[in-house]
Amino acid sequence: MPKSSTDRPTAPETVWLAAGRHTGPAPQKALREHLRELKNSERIQGFLETENAATPDGHVFEARWLVDGDVTVRARLATDGREDVDAERRWTLAAEAEQPWDLAWPSPATMFWPGNSGFSWDRDATAGLWLQDINPLPKDDAALRRLLKDIARHSWSINVVVHEAMTPDDEGRLPLARLLPPGLRHRVVEHRATPEQFHAVNWALGDLGTSVPRGGAVILSGTPARVGYDEQAFRVRSVFLDGSEPTELLDKIVEFAALPWPLPADAAATLTALRQEWRLLSLEEELAHARALVASYSDALDAMTKSRDLYREATELAHTALSEMAEYRDAASAVRGSAPGQDKHPLTKTLQRVTDSLLPRRAPRVDALQAARESEERARQSSG
């Protein structure tokens, strides 16, 4: 069984994360119109569109809305690709609420993506598999093994492998997504193995340390594994594909979604971008932001003023010290250069001036200057 990572931060309980792909024309116009419609109908409080600095020609859409009447949700969807290019592109979506996320709340994906559009957006980012439909596993064994290994390592979604005990009828081909809480409908990928693929799929799942019961299901741990994941606890022995509600499997998916999720690096970066690059501010948030900036500038100015004053004081002290050293050096030179019998009056005046100037600032030096004067006086008396 894959071990969970202990050195990665886990997704906060307040956060909803998903990554996917969209195909067809670039979605900026459709996203913009859908968000404007939700704003006009007051389903969201506001939205903002900016360029995605991390991806050439990408766009970022921010939106804010309320759930349960007074709980604010902030969400950020980032896309890549130019508007005039018809291609497959990746999108990431991070939403954070003021309270732990309730799976009964609307899926943030539906607050951005329009229900009817000219492209498919609800595909898993790793392998382009459907998020709201059944995904048959590849018939080729090597391709099957590659796919399962790839999604186990890189997918943000909750991947569920279901084995069909027998070929189901139309009722048995209905996807699980329709029965999931709204908060999980765009975070689960359902894989189906046909009856004859039982051994092949378990051969591939063996690389991941798990297996699927015949006619049952297993929820893959992901990489890194969710904290507290137990392979046996997330296996379901029987899933009846007859149109009835597979209650046990649905409960296991909800239980798995509640486990702490050690964030992959790209998911962590998406959450960081939501928190640190958020621009859609309310009036109160703008005022708080302005106050914080004023306080920050005030602190910086105060620090600069103190630094300037300290620099000026240090400069003045340095100049004073240099001047005193020069005066003391001149006085000492005059003492050493005097000879007996010469007129000592100029030297006496020099020593007096230096002594008077240094007395209030360098008291310890007065003793040396006074000794020099006494030496001069003794020299005069001896020569007389």
Mean pLDDT to the nearest integer, 131-139: 96
Q: Is the pLDDT of residue 86 over 90?
A: no
Placement of tokens 């018939």 in the chain: 139
Residue 190: helix, strand or coil by DSSP? strand
pLDDT of residue 358: 45
- Confidence band, pLDDT 50/70/90 cuts, at residue 383: low
Q: Is the pLDDT of residue 340 over 70?
A: no
Mean pLDDT to the nearest integer, 246-259: 97
- Higher-confidence residue: 351 or 139? 139
| pLDDT tens digits along 321-334 | 777 677 767 766 76
Q: In the chain, pLDDT over 70 holds for what percent of residues?
A: 80
In angstroms, the CA 221 to CA 227 distance is: 9
- Residue 97 near residue 67, CB atoms below 8 Å: yes
- Confidence band, pLDDT 50/70/90 cuts, at residue 178: very high
Q: Is the pLDDT of residue 116 over 90?
A: no
Q: Is the pLDDT of residue 83 over 70?
A: no
| Radius of gyration of the chain from its Cα atoms, rounded to whole angstroms | 39
Average pLDDT, the chain: 84
In angstroms, the CA 255 to CA 234 distance is: 9
- Smallest Cα–Cα separation from 61: which of 92, 103, 22? 92
- Higher-confidence residue: 139 or 85? 139
pLDDT of residue 42: 96
Per-domain residue ranges for the chain?
Answer: 15-276, 283-383
Q: At 170, which amino acid appears? A: D
Would you tell me the crossing angle of helices 366-383 and 345-358 to the nearest 10 degrees?
170
Q: Is the pLDDT of residue 306 over 90?
A: no
DSSP class of residue 163 equals: E
- Residue 370 near residue 355, CB atoms below 8 Å: yes
pLDDT of residue 297: 73
Mean pLDDT to the nearest integer, 103-119: 89
- Confidence band, pLDDT 50/70/90 cuts, at residue 379: low
> What is the helix (H) or strand (E) element at residue 64, kind and residue range?
strand 58-67
- Smallest Cα–Cα separation from 183: which of 27, 67, 43? 67
- Higher-confidence residue: 273 or 338? 273
Q: Is the pLDDT of residue 368 over 70?
A: no
Per-position DSSP letters for 201-228, written without gaps between them? HHHHHGGGT----TT-EEE--TTTBPTT
pLDDT of residue 52: 78
- Smallest Cα–Cα separation from 187: which of 157, 155, 215, 219? 157
- Higher-confidence residue: 366 or 119? 119
- Confidence band, pLDDT 50/70/90 cuts, at residue 82: low
- Higher-confidence residue: 340 or 322? 322
| pLDDT tens digits along 261-303 | 999 999 999 999 999 999 998 777 767 766 777 887 777 777 7
Write down the pTM of the prediction: 0.74
- Higher-confidence residue: 368 or 186? 186
Q: State the maximum Cα–Cα separation within the chain, in Å, rounded to a whole number.
A: 136
- Confidence band, pLDDT 50/70/90 cuts, at residue 364: very low
pLDDT of residue 58: 82
pLDDT of residue 68: 95
- Higher-confidence residue: 366 or 90? 90
Q: Is the pLDDT of residue 81 over 70?
A: no
pLDDT of residue 344: 46
Q: Is the pLDDT of residue 115 over 80?
A: yes
Mean pLDDT to the nearest integer, 123-140: 95
pLDDT of residue 2: 47
| pLDDT tens digits along 11-47 | 999 999 999 998 877 788 889 999 999 999 999 999 9
Q: Is the pLDDT of residue 54 over 90?
A: no
pLDDT of residue 376: 62
